[in-house]
Amino acid sequence: MQTTGDLDRLRQAVTAWRSAGQAVALVPTMGALHAGHIALIEAAKRPGTRVVASIFVNPKQFGPAEDLGRYPRREASDARMLNAAGCDLLWAPSVETMYPMGFATNIAVAGVSDGFDGAARPGHFDGVATVVTKLFNQVRPDLAYFGEKDFQQLAVIRRLVADLDMPIEIVGVPTQRDDDGLALSSRNIYLDDDQRARAVALPRALGIAARSIGRGDLVEDALTEARATLIAAGFEIDYVALADAETLAEDPAPDRPRRLLAAARLGTTRLIDNVPIEQG
Ligand code: PAF
């Protein structure tokens, strides 16, 4: 695996692959890799395709009171994991390369960015859309892979790519979970043993509510029960809501693809999760 933080070297590698008739897939990450990220690399590895992973802890998507300073950084072990997974190139730009002096552009994707995490974390999705646009322009991938765990992020990126006519196929990869169902996240390491044991209430409450809504029970009853379960487990809830899986509008019609979304805090750790509604 090649590793570079130099844009010219990245472009040389990508140009050489393209000249050889190969496709390029990008897996954008902020590092602190876990099995969820490796599942993205595995999904991206196809015959005739070269895989680029990026690691960049993007300051623009953290609010002033958020965990940018303590966000886990494990460059050496991340590189070993990517190499072992069969990644071809690690793109690891510095903050100065990504946002040189004078950088002044902001990409905002209205509507789909506004609710849920967008409301709880003002500016977060502008930061994501801006850095992902830069990563797409730097790497020029044919395909890009994102986890469904960050479901609103995936919806924002799909809208961005459609609106700006970017010739990139966006592939959503199902959430990877621990044996007890907790979604893998780089932030799970912040949980102490007691919080980790209680965290499982989040996927369980969402699973029960999603099955109940899928059977045709009243949405508000299912959401109320899920919220009560989370509060009993010690969570402070940001939101538990049903949304249209494409637009993320609330109160979606039952014949639309629907997603149950939640964000809640255990102590200072904010966890998010989501599940599809399967009819019947
Ligand atoms: O999901 C992430 O790790 C980040 O939001 C992303 C997509 C790499 C942009 O910084």
pTM for the complete prediction? 0.96
Instruction: Give the domain-ending residue among 113, 148, 173.
Output: 173
Residue 181 resides in a domain: no
**Domain tally, the chain:** 2
Residue 37 appears among annotated catalytic residues: yes
The DSSP-derived string for 147-179 is ETTSHHHHHHHHHHHHHTT---EEEEEPPPB-T
Q: Which helix (H) or strand (E) holds 25?
A: strand 23-29
Instruction: Give the domain-ending residue among 173, 194, 224.
Output: 173
Measured between alpha carbons, how far is 20 from 14 in angstroms, rounded to an integer? 10
Residues 126 and 197 in one domain: no
Task: Tell me what the mean pLDDT of segment 49-72 comes to.
Answer: 95
Rg of the chain over Cα atoms, rounded to whole angstroms, equals: 19
Instruction: Give the domain-ending residue among 173, 196, 213.
Output: 173
Residues 115 and 142 in one domain: yes
Residue 225 Cα, ligand 1 centroid: separation in angstroms?
Answer: 31
Which runs of consecutive H residues, i.e. helices, occur in 103-261? Answer: 116-120, 124-139, 151-163, 193-199, 201-214, 219-232
Pick from 26, 29, 121 the residue to mutate for probing ligand 1's pocket: most ligand atoms within 8 Å of its CB: 29
pLDDT exceeds 90 at position 20? yes
Residue 12 resides in a domain: yes
User: Which atom number of ligand 1 is nearest to the Cα of residue 157?
Assistant: 7
* Residues 23 and 45: beta-carbon distance below 8 Å: no
Average pLDDT, the chain: 97
User: Which atom number of ligand 1 is nearest to the Cα of residue 128?
Assistant: 9
Residue 253 belongs to domain spanning: 186-276
Task: Tell me what the mean pLDDT of segment 30-34 comes to.
Answer: 96
**Residue 279: its pLDDT value, please?**
83
pLDDT exceeds 90 at position 67? no
Residues 10 and 114 in one domain: yes
